Amino acid sequence: MGHKMTDNSYDLSKRDFLQAIGMIGGSAAMYTAMTGLNMAQASSLEEPPELSSEGKGKKLLLLGAGLSGLAIALEMQKKGYKCEIIEARDHEGGRCQSARKGKVIQELGGEKQVCNFEHGQYLNIGPWRIPAEHKAVIHYCRELDVELQPMINESGYGIFYNQGIEGALKGKRLRQVDVAIDREGNIEELLAKAVNDGSLDDKLSAEDKEGLLEYLATTGLLDRKELFYRANRARTYENYPGTGLDAGKMSEPYEISELLKVKLGMRAQTADHPAVMFQAKGGMDQIPFTMSKALKRGTIKYNREVTNIIHSEDNVKVTYKDLKSGREKTLTADYCITTIPFSVLNGIDNNFSPELKDAMKSASSSPAYKIGLQFDRRFWEEDDMIYGGESRSDIPDHYTTSYPSADLYGKNGGVVLSNYKFGGGSVQLSNNTVAERIEHALMIGEKLHPGNYRKHFNGNAISMSWHKDKYSLGGASSYRSNRLRRKHIPTVLKGEKRMLFSGGGISPYHSAWMTGAIEGAWATIADLDKRVAQT
């Protein structure tokens, strides 16, 4: 398959990436203008759609055993469809993978990595967190008894490290809570002063001014009488209070002009990135594994790489190569739903309409990189009181370092997601050798946890570049602009004849989320149901 990615697919703008992960909000007007489009799913779906048709043995061929393929098969089997899933990998789950002992990762043009984490240790190299509002994911976890546990997405004790600023805070490990509280405290103090000196008289009634000052006096950050910001109990302590007469010592806020130089963590967490999220106990891949077990035996055919898709008014013919035997075989089905990422599908021979081909090619595939290192001691907990959450820095090609939420206080160390980077820098990182990748992660970690990071690294690491994964060719698929979204999504949603398109790629507003794959699957089966009813 000659699907070498063009450079275009790498250069998604920062704004698109932020949007893809839900970090930019607010322009509701722009979006509501789009509501004229049909085929929208009801929001915050909690359950799969009610299907009116009966499969009666109709043959449904599914391409890809990722979350959307699995969800479609689960629901359609219930309705009497004869489902078969063709999967190129030797496991189900698609991008929903966890690396644990024995896991082999072979990136295109890369070294073969074999994960050597100790037993019980793992890294979610794909999806890693579920917000409570993603009810579609929680639906399957509840229905199939996948145990969820809190994923601590934010820890006040996590670190901000700024090497690219000038001044007193350059190169210092700042606690996230201290930065956040100082920002709040200074803002409150300045606003209180502005209220008191009459600067807001034209904007606020006397009553609102009074109400505002009352509120500012109750946040605990300002001196209650004079309303100036000062050391407080929301910040970390220099010395924590103890017993007897030990009152502890509160820490001193940062100077405002120094604080304002810090650019990390400006934006508050979005509603779908709250402080506490969920993860599947033992690894996120437990979700697809459990879904797969709920399917009829033999539904998934592994190690079969699709090479050709021909659809007509009456049926769909899919040719695949058996990766074990090397033999090619063609299957015929009444309907076919492909969940193969557009970036990969573009490289498979097909007879889709030019409009569809164009729609799929117009989607951008985002590069994404994760590297996890195993440590023999949980120094981030024992020495730094960081329990879950993340640290961030402005070190080039570093986005976030996330600490494990499972096995807190464990005595067997743990795996830290040492760098998760998407967009531009992730491509450079993925061009490094495995040894260079580890060294880069250690370099970052040593700045966040000097003296501990290298010392406690036990030599076991795993990294994944999704844009170099043959069957993904990207971390997520999305449209770069609303114009492209408006133009192409309806085409993809419509599919053609007996051929439908599903997967996370058809949920641009949940791009890279598991709920995007599942809600996409639900949208597709609702549509299939309609088509079957009409035949």
Partner 1 sequence: MTDQNNNQISKRDFLATLGMIGGSAAVMTALSGFEHSLASDAKAPPMLHTHGNGKSVVILGAGMAGLVTALELSKKGYNCTILEARDYAGGRNSCSRKGTKVTHATGETHTCDFDNGQYLNHGAWRIPGQHHSTLHYARSLDVPLEVMLNHSSQSYLYADNIEGPLNNQRVRRIHVESDRKGHVAELLAKCAAGGALDEMLEKEDVEKLLTYLKGMGLINAETFEYQANSIRGFSSYKGGGDNYGTLSEPYALNDLLNMNMAGRELTSDHPTCMFQAVGGMDQIAFALRDALPHGVLNLNKEVTRIRHSGSGVTVNYKDTKTGAAAQAKADFCVSTIPYAVVTGIENNFNDDIIDAMKTPAPSQVAKFGLQMKTRFWETEDMIYGGTSTTSMAGNIAYPSADLHGKDGGVLLASYLFGGRSNNFSKMNINEKIEYALATGEHIHPGNYRENFNGKAAGIIWQDEKYNKSGWSSWQGDSIKKLPVILKGENRMLFAGDCISPRLSGWLAGAIEGAWLTIAELDKRAAQI
Q: Which of residues 278-317 bind partner 1 (CB under 8 A)?
A: 278
CB 395 within 8 A of CB 161: yes
CB 147 within 8 A of CB 140: no
Site of tokens 């605990």: 220
Specify the residue, 261 or 470, whose C-beta has the smaller distance to partner 1. Answer: 261
277 Cβ contact list (under 8 Å, min separation 6): 129, 130, 131, 132, 150, 151, 152, 153
Q: How far is the CB of 528 from partner 1 (least distance, A)?
A: 14
Task: Say which DSSP state 286 is in.
Answer: H
Question: Does 207 help bind partner 1 (rule: CB under 8 A)?
Answer: yes
Near partner 1 by CB under 8 A: residue from 199, 431, 433, 535: 199
Helix (H, G, I), strand (E, B) or coil at 35: coil
| Contact range with partner 1 by CB under 8 A, out of 111-119, 361-369, 432-440, 509-517 | 509-517
Task: Say which DSSP state 490 is in.
Answer: H
Near partner 1 by CB under 8 A: residue from 1, 194, 323, 442: 194
Helix (H, G, I), strand (E, B) or coil at 194: helix
Q: The tokens of 310 are what?
A: 């021909």
514-534 helix and 135-143 helix, angle to the nearest 10 degrees: 80
Question: Does 276 help bind partner 1 (rule: CB under 8 A)?
Answer: yes
Question: Does 235 help bind partner 1 (rule: CB under 8 A)?
Answer: yes
Question: Does 237 help bind partner 1 (rule: CB under 8 A)?
Answer: yes
Q: How far is the CB of 382 from partner 1 (least distance, A)?
A: 9
Q: The tokens of 4 are what?
A: 């070498």
Kindly identify the residues of this chain, within the stretch 30-59, that bind partner 1 according to CB under 8 A.
Answer: 31-32, 34-35, 37, 39-45
Q: How far is the CB of 218 from partner 1 (least distance, A)?
A: 3
| Contact range with partner 1 by CB under 8 A, out of 101-109, 253-261, 289-297, 425-433 | 253-261
Kindly identify the residues of this chain, within the stretch 49-108, that bind partner 1 according to CB under 8 A.
Answer: none
For the chain, what's the residue count? 535
Specify the residue, 49 or 347, whose C-beta has the smaller distance to partner 1. Answer: 49
* Radius of gyration in angstroms for the set of CA atoms belonging to the chain, rounded to a whole number: 26
Q: How far is the CB of 407 from partner 1 (least distance, A)?
A: 10
Q: How many residues bind partner 1 (CB under 8 A)?
A: 119
Checking phi first, is residue 233 left (phi over 0); if not, alpha (psi -120 to 50) or beta?
alpha
- In 3D space, the residue among 38, 97, 46, 25 whose CA is nearest the CA of residue 67 turns out to be 97
Q: The tokens of 526 are what?
A: 């609702």
Kindly identify the residues of this chain, within the stretch 373-432, that bind partner 1 according to CB under 8 A.
Answer: 381, 385, 387-388, 405, 408-409, 411
Q: Side chain identity at 129, as an amino acid letter?
A: R
Kindly identify the residues of this chain, within the stretch 8-27, that bind partner 1 according to CB under 8 A.
Answer: 22-26
Specify the residue, 194 or 310, whose C-beta has the smaller distance to partner 1. Answer: 194
- In 3D space, the residue among 75, 72, 79, 81 whose CA is nearest the CA of residue 52 turns out to be 79
Near partner 1 by CB under 8 A: residue from 212, 294, 295, 395: 212
Specify the residue, 486 or 497, whose C-beta has the smaller distance to partner 1. Answer: 486
Specify the residue, 267 or 455, whose C-beta has the smaller distance to partner 1. Answer: 267
Please state the φ and ψ torsions of residue 309, each to the nearest 5 degrees.
-130, 120
Specify the residue, 320 or 501, whose C-beta has the smaller distance to partner 1. Answer: 501
Q: How far is the CB of 179 from partner 1 (least distance, A)?
A: 11
Q: How far is the CB of 450 from partner 1 (least distance, A)?
A: 20
Near partner 1 by CB under 8 A: residue from 5, 12, 67, 138: 138
Q: The tokens of 263 are what?
A: 């650019």
Distance CA 46, CA 67 (A): 16
CA distances from 41 to 31, 68, 120, 502 (A): 15, 15, 39, 13
Question: Does 239 help bind partner 1 (rule: CB under 8 A)?
Answer: yes
- In 3D space, the residue among 451, 456, 425, 452 whose CA is nearest the CA of residue 440 turns out to be 425
CA distances from 380 to 250, 303, 413 (A): 22, 41, 10
Kindly identify the residues of this chain, within the stretch 139-158, that bind partner 1 according to CB under 8 A.
Answer: 141-142, 148-150, 152, 154-157
Q: How far is the CB of 251 from partner 1 (least distance, A)?
A: 9
Q: How far is the CB of 188 from partner 1 (least distance, A)?
A: 7
Q: How far is the CB of 2 from partner 1 (least distance, A)?
A: 31
Q: How far is the CB of 122 from partner 1 (least distance, A)?
A: 18
Q: How far is the CB of 400 from partner 1 (least distance, A)?
A: 17
